[in-house]
């Protein structure tokens, strides 16, 4: 009677990346870095135009 086992109650397999609930961390970091770099570049260009306009 020990040979009969109850069926295991396993949960359904989860997907490796549950994209609806979690944002991939690497993508979030890359997005943040690009956002900061874009603002730094825009600020530098703004300063160049301001310096160029002040020379007239």
Q: Each residue of 5-36: pLDDT tens digit?
A: 666 677 666 666 555 678 899 999 999 999 99
Q: How many helices (H) and strands (E) does the chain have?
A: 1, 0
Scored b (16 or more CB within 10 A) or e, 2-38 reads: eeeeeeeeeeeeeeeeeeeeeeeeeeeeeeeeeeeee
Give the predicted TM-score (pTM) of the model. 0.55
DSSP H helices in the chain: 25-54
Question: What pLDDT shows up at residue 40?
Answer: 98
- pLDDT: which is higher, 49 or 13: 49
Residues 6+ apart with CB under 8 A from 24: 17
């Amino acid at each position: 009677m020990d040979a009969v086992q109850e069926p295991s109650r396993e949960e359904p397999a989860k997907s490796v990346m549950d994209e609806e609930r979690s944002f991939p961390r690497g993508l979030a970091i890359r997005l943040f870095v690009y956002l900061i770099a874009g603002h730094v570049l825009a600020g530098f260009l703004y300063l160049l135009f301001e310096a160029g306009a002040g020379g007239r």
